């Protein structure tokens, strides 16, 4: 059984979409995979309550308790690795996890560390993506699921969804429309990752095109 560990920092709407899809589509039976744990760097993250209600292991690891970013990442890796097995290392899914990860952490989970970003990468990496798209006069925006690399928001793309930027859009209205698509493509991209990766390999082979 491949365990999936989801990392969050807040409400966890993408996490909830993934959990609901895993339940609806019976990932345990279909792909030999299960959502094993939800971990947050904030004890007040509302997503932890949802995870608990679903019977998942839900845990907070407060990053402010650690003197350095490296120390926090080391402790976080220790929690994640509890869900590894000898044949099936855990898949780590960032779902609104608002921390920049150290190169050592990224290397540790290379090929099995996924993230979703609210823009059509490589456009607008980093923060404030919706306002930046509006300010640039973009006609389209969207969301991207990608493998995490040491360089921020630059890993191989697994899936994208496109939404129009409408006249009169604000960052808030555009974000809401993009989020709807995030909830669709993130579970789909994870499903495709599970299909592509069998028990014999942990490295990912990015799917061609959008999902």
Of 149, 143, 119, nearest to 132 by C-alpha is 119
Q: Is the peptide bond before 122 cis (omega within 30 degrees of 0)?
A: yes
Tell me the catalytic residues.
117
What contacts 134, CB < 8 A, 6 or more positions away?
165, 169, 170, 171, 174
Q: What share of the chain is helix, strand, coil (3-state, %, to 5)?
A: 35, 20, 40
Query: Residue 190 and residue 91: Cα distance in Å, rounded?
Result: 9
Query: Residue 100 and residue 103: Cα distance in Å, rounded?
Result: 9
Query: Residue 76 and residue 139: Cα distance in Å, rounded?
Result: 39
End-to-end CA gap in the chain: 24
Of 171, 185, 169, 170, nearest to 117 by C-alpha is 185
What stretches of 55-139 adopt beta strand conformation (E)? 57-60, 91-94, 113-117
């Amino acid at each position: 059984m491949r365990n999936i560990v989801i990392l969050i920092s807040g409400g966890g709407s993408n996490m909830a979409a993934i959990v609901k899809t895993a339940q609806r589509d019976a990932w345990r039976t279909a792909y030999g995979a299960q959502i094993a744990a939800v971990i947050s760097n904030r004890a007040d993250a509302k997503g932890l309550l949802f995870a608990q209600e679903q019977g998942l292991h839900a845990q907070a690891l407060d990053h402010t308790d650690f003197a350095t970013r490296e120390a926090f990442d080391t402790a976080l890796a220790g929690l994640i690795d509890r869900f590894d097995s000898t044949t099936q290392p855990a898949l780590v899914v960032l779902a609104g996890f608002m921390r920049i990860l150290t190169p050592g952490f990224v290397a540790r989970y290379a090929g099995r560390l996924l993230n979703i970003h609210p823009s059509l990468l490589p456009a607008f990496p980093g923060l404030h993506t919706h306002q930046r798209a509006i300010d640039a006069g973009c006609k389209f925006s969207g969301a991207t699921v990608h493998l995490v690399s040491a360089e921020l928001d630059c890993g191989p793309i697994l899936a994208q969804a496109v939404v129009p930027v409408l006249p009169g859009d604000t960052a808030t209205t555009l974000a809401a429309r993009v989020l709807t698509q995030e909830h669709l493509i993130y579970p789909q991209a994870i499903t495709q990752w599970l299909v592509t990766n069998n028990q014999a390999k942990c490295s990912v082979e990015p799917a061609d095109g959008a999902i």
